[in-house]
Structure 1
Amino acid sequence: MASTAYARGSKPPACSRRHDVPAVVFSTAGYTDNFFHDNTDVMIPLFLSTSHFAGEVQLLITNYKPWWVAKFAPLLKKLSNYEVINFDKEADVHCFPGGQLGLYRDRDLIIGPHPTRNPRNLTMVDYNRFLRRAFGLPRDAPAVLGDKTAVRPKMLMIERKGTRKLLNLRAVQALCEELGFEVTVAEAGADVRAFAATVNAADVLLAVHGAGLTNQIFLPTGAVLVQIVPWGKMDWMATNFYGQPARDMQLRYVEYYVSEEETTLKDKYSRDHYVFKNPMQIHAQGWPALAEIVMKQDVMVNVTRFKPFLLKALDQLQD
């Protein structure tokens, strides 16, 4: 394999570097500035495509982003025993005994059975374990609750500062603490390892629908994910992007759908507008309308209405 092309029928250039291990070539282009897409578009497919090599594989990256490689260095080093190669800038002619162009990919945050794409029957639970090893995360299971223990379950509330903010976050935090949770409020930052440790320390992760829920991948198996779903017939997106993946990771899952009284859309649209009468009309207009209307709302949950869902999360930790 060479990093430069040559004309059809001509003799390929001589190898200037020979490798004893196979190569896997992939791209970090696209939406890899978003943690959801970092995982769904690159890291999970890379894990699915290379974990069976046990490190004996050379990774070559096109559309190379130095900050992205630095951000996920612990994972890349766990998958390959060799420094990654910037395929676009490499002047040498590299030769390998074999290779793969591109990655195997399943659905978002899901690894399902497949005879060719996943012949080793890997699951998202395997990906979770891989992450724990790579980042040195200590917890494989949540705290054990029951009548004979005084342990307070730990909850992490992910705070959003842009759209889909939980406007009464402090009131929800107070309710959670009243119910017995030890609550930490945090916003995910650029340091993946540090935030992974924060998530892994939690028994319950609570957040409004968005990329922050991707951090469920760091929860201990058996922990609880609570998703607050904004107004706008978001059930398909809520379930497929985060709900079903949570179940595939052997997490317990609770979802709460806000009412029209709990969304800031009520301050922008009249109650006889299709936003409330028939939200599917938003979906029919495609992603631009969803992004402009549904994804830009904030929510203020009714704590009385929300309380039973928090109690359900608490109950699930005691199963």
Structure 2
Amino acid sequence: MNSTAYSRPSKLPGGAGDRRPPTRLRGFASKIEPKKLGAGLLAGCCLALLTYVSLAKLFAGGEGAALAKMSCDENGVDEGFPYARPSVCELSGDIRISPKQKTMYLVNPSGAGGFDENGEKRLRPYARKDDFLLPAVVEVTVKSVPSAAAAPQCTKRHRVPAVVFSVAGYTDNFFHDNTDALIPLFLTASHLKGEVQLLITNYKPWWVQKYTPVLRKLSNYDPINFDADAGVHCFAAGFLGLYRDRDLIISPHPTRNPRNYTMVDYNRFIRSAYALRRDRPSALGEAPGMRPQMLIISRGGTRKLLNLEEVAAAATELGFNVTVAEAGADVPAFAALVNSADVLLAVHGAGLTNQIFLPTQAVVVQIVPWGNMDWMATNFYGQPAREMQLRYVEYYVDEEETSLKDKYPREHLVFSDPKALHKQGWQALAETIMKQDVKVNLTRFRPFLLQAIDKLQE
């Protein structure tokens, strides 16, 4: 039998591998009776031996190989959100993953179904079913083989399940980092309580580094670079692809979400990952002179709030302590800033994704640009805010508050029929409506700031 190597705890900074017993526990351990200590060590050794023997039998193609099973969820269209239903496969039995060959071998002597006429199943494990993006995602093949001898020999055996997924596509955008990777990972793997091995295709070192706190919270083991690893990793269970729901939404489902997780659960998880202390906003009048905290997220590209300083001054006049900041690459620092706020205000865009860091029952104010943006505003940020048990206020910009009035005549589709631009597809929208800036009418906007105060008192 080949030599066996097992998964090692994570070496990520502060990870599970960086565990040292406190001094007090060391002192306590020294007082344990030798007989009890010896019995404990013996029991531990027996358990380790039993685990080794079980894994050895499984990967040798013994009776465990008969447990081979693959089930795939390929319901690509559901509730009008086809992108939200990517293909996902769950496997169990003797699974041997060869990243170099982009293949997961399933030792399948009983001929369990789910494969094509060649005994294969091909899947691109990116959690957004987008025909434009998928060709750039590494394709992974699940190959059914009749015996252990027909599969490559294990170079590393893992006691935990595998999750193979891609961070291709739009994952350099904070909105998509969550909708296409982090939330699907939470939905797929959080019930394993860290005992899971992540294997990442389309590997981006900077992405892994950026989200180290989240990956460390999900897995006790260093993620494997699926694009560069030359070994053969053996598992008894695994997922190819990730389950997901709509953007920033998690709904109950018998197979995709059997544990009935919600976005409130994800918020709690993400706050824990970044060690964010506040789980409730400040109560008005809680302390003399205390003012509610408002964070206004500024934008450096399109959809800028042109009179941001005036809006901040108006909010200050109404009693808010206002901070203005632009979201950056330092996620932990910005997460802490957002968590310190009672009210988050931003123009429609990826910055509103930061509402995931807010304390429950905080307030989100979304400024919705001109151009029939109500569907996008509601589905991308409004409904998710409600799902997170946040209080939500939305302000719709009118024709006089958009910079589009200085670029297009009033008879242009931008004003006469913005729905027609939406029907032309994302590219047409991106070149027109999504490129606007806004300058809100302070007299018109002031009541919405008062709404935010009222909602903090609910």
TM range (shorter): over 0.9
The alignment status of 1:101 with 2:101, answered yes or no, reads no
Structure 1 counterpart of 2:167:
28
Q: Within 5 Å, give how 1:84-233 maps onto structure 2.
A: 84-146=223-285, 149-233=288-372
How far off is 1:274 after superposition? Answer: 2.2
More displaced 10-residue stretch of structure 1: 148-157 or 246-255: 148-157
Matched residues in 2 for 1:8 and 1:197: separation?
47
Matched residues in 2 for 1:253 and 1:42: separation?
25
Report the AA paired with residue 165 of structure 2: F
Q: Specify the SS of the correspondent of 2:432.
A: helix
Q: Deviations over 1:191-242 (max 9, x none)?
A: 1110000000000000000000000000000000000000000000000000
Structure 1 counterpart of 2:55:
none
How far off is 1:83 after superposition? Answer: 0.6
The structure with more radius of gyration: 2
Structure 2 counterpart of 1:272:
411
Report the AA paired with residue 91 of structure 1: A
Matched residues in 1 for 2:377 and 2:306: separation?
20
How far off is 1:87 after superposition? Answer: 1.1
Q: Deviations over 1:132-182 (max 9, x none)?
A: 111000100000014975320000000001000000000001000000000
With the length of structure 1 as denominator, give the TM-score of the two structures: 0.98
Matched residues in 2 for 1:128 and 1:220: separation?
8
Matched residues in 2 for 1:149 and 1:259: separation?
39
The alignment status of 1:302 with 2:302, answered yes or no, reads no
How far off is 1:17 after superposition? Answer: 0.6
Task: Please tell me whether the aligned partners of residues 25 and 101 of structure 1 are also in contact (alpha carbons under 8 angstroms).
Answer: yes
Structure 1 counterpart of 2:180:
41
Task: Please tell me whether the aligned partners of residues 28 and 65 of structure 1 are also in contact (alpha carbons under 8 angstroms).
Answer: yes
Report the AA paired with residue 179 of structure 2: T
Greater RCO, 1 or 2 (C-alpha within 8 Å, sep 6+): 1
With the length of structure 2 as denominator, give the TM-score of the two structures: 0.68
More displaced 10-residue stretch of structure 1: 1-10 or 218-227: 1-10
1:19 to 158, 161, 168: 158
Matched residues in 2 for 1:226 and 1:271: separation?
28
More displaced 10-residue stretch of structure 1: 113-122 or 147-156: 147-156
Report the AA paired with residue 448 of structure 2: F
What is the alpha-carbon root mean square deviation over aligned residues? 1.3
The alignment status of 1:236 with 2:375, answered yes or no, reads yes
Report the AA paired with residue 442 of structure 2: V
Matched residues in 1 for 2:278 and 2:355: separation?
13
Quick one: percent identity of the two aligned structures? 72
Runs of 4+ aligned structure 1 residues displaced above 2 Å come to 4-10, 146-150
Task: Please tell me whether the aligned partners of residues 156 and 186 of structure 1 are also in contact (alpha carbons under 8 angstroms).
Answer: yes
Cα 1:8–1:227 change in 2 (3 A) is closer
How far off is 1:272 after superposition? Answer: 2.3
Q: Specify the SS of the correspondent of 2:289.
A: coil
Matched residues in 2 for 1:252 and 1:8: separation?
50
Q: Specify the SS of the correspondent of 2:184.
A: helix
Q: Specify the SS of the correspondent of 2:176.
A: helix
How far off is 1:256 after superposition? Answer: 0.3
Cα 1:148–1:184 change in 2 (3 A) is closer
Matched residues in 2 for 1:107 and 1:275: separation?
28
Cα 1:73–1:148 change in 2 (3 A) is closer
The alignment status of 1:2 with 2:97, answered yes or no, reads yes
Q: Specify the SS of the correspondent of 2:394.
A: strand
The alignment status of 1:77 with 2:216, answered yes or no, reads yes
Task: Please tell me whether the aligned partners of residues 146 and 318 of structure 1 are also in contact (alpha carbons under 8 angstroms).
Answer: no
More displaced 10-residue stretch of structure 1: 299-308 or 275-284: 275-284
Q: Within 5 Å, give how 1:244-255 maps onto structure 2.
A: 244-255=383-394
Report the AA paired with residue 45 of structure 1: P
Report the AA paired with residue 271 of structure 1: R
How far off is 1:273 after superposition? Answer: 2.1
Report the AA paired with residue 207 of structure 1: A
Q: Specify the SS of the correspondent of 2:97.
A: coil
Cα 1:72–1:147 change in 2 (3 A) is closer
Report the AA paired with residue 2 of structure 1: I
Report the AA paired with residue 198 of structure 1: L
Aligned residues: 319
Q: Specify the SS of the correspondent of 2:444.
A: helix
More displaced 10-residue stretch of structure 1: 281-290 or 189-198: 281-290
Report the AA paired with residue 375 of structure 2: W
Report the AA paired with residue 274 of structure 2: F
Structure 1 counterpart of 2:45:
none
Matched residues in 1 for 2:431 and 2:397: separation?
18
How far off is 1:12 after superposition? Answer: 0.8
Q: Specify the SS of the correspondent of 1:98.
A: strand
